[in-house]
Structure formats: C-alpha cells, structure tokens
Amino acid sequence: MRLIVGLGNPGRRYRDTRHNVGWDVLDRLATRWNIRVDDEDGYCVVGRGSIRGQRVWLAKPQTYMNLSGTAVRELLRYYRLSSTQLVVVCDDLDMPVGIIRVRPKGGHGGHNGLRSLIDELGTQDFARVRVGIGRPTVMEAADYVLARFGADETPSIAAALDEAADAVEEIVARGPEAAMARFNRKVGAASRLDEPVPAVQTAAPEPRSEAKP
C-alpha cells in the first residue's frame, strides 16, 4: 500500500503553475490508472485504486503548500500507514526544467512543502520525486514558482511530468532504489538537492471551513 501525494496549491489561480507540478503528475497517474481523485477526506482530496497491481491512495492536499504536512500527517494516521509508505511529488527550483530526481529520503532543500512534511511527520524517511522547474534569473523566486511555464518550456515539462509519473509507478512496483537507478541523471554540481537554500514563501493559507480534522 502506498500513499502518493502531489504537492501544490488549490484554486484556479494556481492551476498549471510551476509550484503545482506535483498535482500535474498526480493527474497523469489518475488518468493512466482510471483513479478518480475527488473524495474529500479531511484536508485532502483523495482517490483509491491500483498501480501495477499494488493498492494506492492518490492525494492532493488542500491546505496550501506551506501547510502540506498537516494534511499528510492526518492521512497517514487515518489510513494507518508509515512514512516509508509515502511517496511525495513536488517541484524543484535547483534543477533545470525537464529533469527529474528520485530520492528515498532527505532534507527539504528549501522547499516549504517538504519542510512542512518533515516538521509534521518528524522524519525525513519518505520517498520523493522532484521535478525540475529551473531557477529564475531576474524574477523573484516567490513570483517565479507561482508563474506558468513559457511556450519554449512546454515540451520539456510535459515530457518531465510523464517521466515523473513513470518514476512513481516504478517506486510502487519495485521501490525507490530501482526508480533511482532507472530515472536519475546527473544534473551538475550546482544542484545540491538537500542543502538549505533561501525559503520560498508561497500562497498564504486561507480558511477552509469545510475541511474536517
């Protein structure tokens, strides 16, 4: 059993932005494996199904990026799963657009969603698939992650989202190490995925009266 979480921000204004690639990968998995992700469960929208013969939950936290850990902690508790059964898909500022990276565990690397997960779960021991979105040269990082991809980036990010979905499937079927061996590429010395970088403050949480604990 695996809980697969795509990190992102809810709402139309954040759809297809760089910070929401985790949700985009989850959508690809849902389409491939005919899983409907539309059941409101606490702080998440979830769907249950199978990938390569293995039972999975697909989940999109609705708490906004900076409080993702609250939603995921409650799901793990409710479904009686451990952090080692968790797979997180998110964006990465320190990798070029079109590159993905699989890790079985690690730090947050300045990503506020991962930071929240680590803080709330009390562990770094969960697999993650990180999708490169590039780092801005002129725009502020906080604005950049909430912007959409340029036309020249569309082919690369589309291929990366498909590849990230492939990587999640490999983790489900054979584990993170097998996925690492198949999908990880060298991205240069400038990419230090688990070293702290200045934190990017993203969308501020908004009250969600309909969400239950």
Catalytic residue IDs: 19
DSSP-assigned letters across all residues of the chain: -EEEEE----SGGGTTBGGGHHHHHHHHHHHHTT----EEETTEEEEEEEETTEEEEEEEESS-GGGHHHHHHHHHHHHT--GGGEEEEEEETTS-TT-EEEESS---TT-HHHHHHHHHHT---SEEEEEE----SSS-HHHHTTSBPPGGGHHHHHHHHHHHHHHHHHHHHH-HHHHHHHH-----TT--TTS--PPPP-PPP---TT---
Residue-wise DSSP of 125-144? -SEEEEEE----SSS-HHHH
Structure tokens at 117: 């997960």
Amino acid sitting at position 129: V
